[in-house]
């Protein structure tokens, strides 16, 4: 069955303003069962809570049963074969499948990828006018190597825009780890 126009509008809203969706709208875009049904269905299939099943999927995917995988894939719905066919995206137009993927990605980004990165300290050995260009080149190289490494990982490209390097003010010495720890503790979170 093709998606209704109001569903398409919700997908557009998810892409444009993912943070403005209600919990119910999020579940609709993600095609997930309501919370009570999720709890009941996960317990019925695995005897676990939804959080325990998600943790199992992340930490030991090889131990997942076929039924547990299908439950997650189907948005925590338990469908008989005719319901599964009726809810399949196979009958959707290409434009609808693409729009749904974009909406799903927008929600995944807004929920899962916060700012992350590295604190970069400059050692006293790099102090001096002659080392300024070398330091700038090092930072550029480090950034490009990090991006290249992320591109080679599954899902890595999606988190590149959220990566940041925080350059600690002043110079530090690796010989005094306590000063480094205190410096990181006081860095502003953005």
User: What was the pLDDT predicted at 131?
Assistant: 62
3-class SS of residue 171 = strand
Strand-pair partners of 123: 172
| pLDDT class of 78 with cuts at 50, 70, 90 | very high
What does pTM read for this prediction? 0.56
Domain range summary for the chain, segments of one domain joined by +: 5-112, 116-185
Mean pLDDT value of segment 183-190 = 51
pLDDT tens, position by position, 87-97: 888 888 989 98
Give the Cα separation of 10 and 33 in Å (integer): 17
Contact by Cβ (8 Å): 8, 82: no
Chain mean pLDDT for the chain: 81
Give the Cα separation of 72 and 138 in Å (integer): 43
Mean pLDDT value of segment 105-119 = 68
Most confident option among 49-53, 139-143, 178-182? 49-53
Measured at the alpha carbon of residue 19, what is the angle toward residues 188 and 184, in degrees to the nearest 5?
Answer: 15
Question: Which of 172, 145, 170 has the alpha carbon at shortest distance from 160?
Answer: 145
How many percent of the chain have pLDDT more than 90?
A: 34
180-188 contacts at long range (C-beta below 8 A, 24 or more positions apart) = 180/121, 183/119, 183/121, 184/119, 187/119
pLDDT tens, position by position, 133-179: 777 787 788 888 888 888 887 767 767 777 777 766 556 666 766 66
User: What was the pLDDT predicted at 190?
Assistant: 44
User: What was the pLDDT predicted at 18?
Assistant: 87
Where is average pLDDT lowest: 68-72, 95-99, 113-117, 182-186? 182-186
Strand-pair partners of 120: 167
């Amino acid at each position: 069955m093709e998606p209704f126009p109001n569903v398409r509008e919700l997908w557009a809203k998810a892409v444009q303003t993912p943070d403005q969706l209600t919990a119910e709208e999020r579940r609709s875009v993600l095609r997930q069962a309501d919370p009570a049904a999720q709890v009941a269905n996960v317990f019925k299939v695995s005897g676990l809570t939804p959080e325990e099943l998600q943790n199992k999927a992340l930490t030991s995917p090889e131990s997942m049963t076929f039924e547990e995988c299908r439950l997650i894939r189907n948005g925590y719905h338990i469908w008989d074969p005719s319901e599964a066919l009726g809810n399949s995206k196979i009958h959707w137009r290409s434009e609808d499948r693409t729009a749904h993927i974009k909406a799903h990605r927008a929600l995944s980004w807004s929920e899962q990828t916060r700012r992350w990165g590295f604190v970069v300290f400059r050692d006293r050995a790099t102090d001096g006018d002659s080392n300024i260009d070398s330091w700038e080149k090092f930072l550029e190289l480090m950034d490009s190597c990090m991006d290249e490494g992320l591109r080679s990982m599954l899902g890595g490209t999606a988190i590149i825009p959220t990566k940041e390097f925080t350059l600690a003010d002043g110079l530090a010495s690796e010989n005094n780890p306590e000063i480094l720890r205190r410096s990181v503790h006081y860095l502003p979170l953005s």
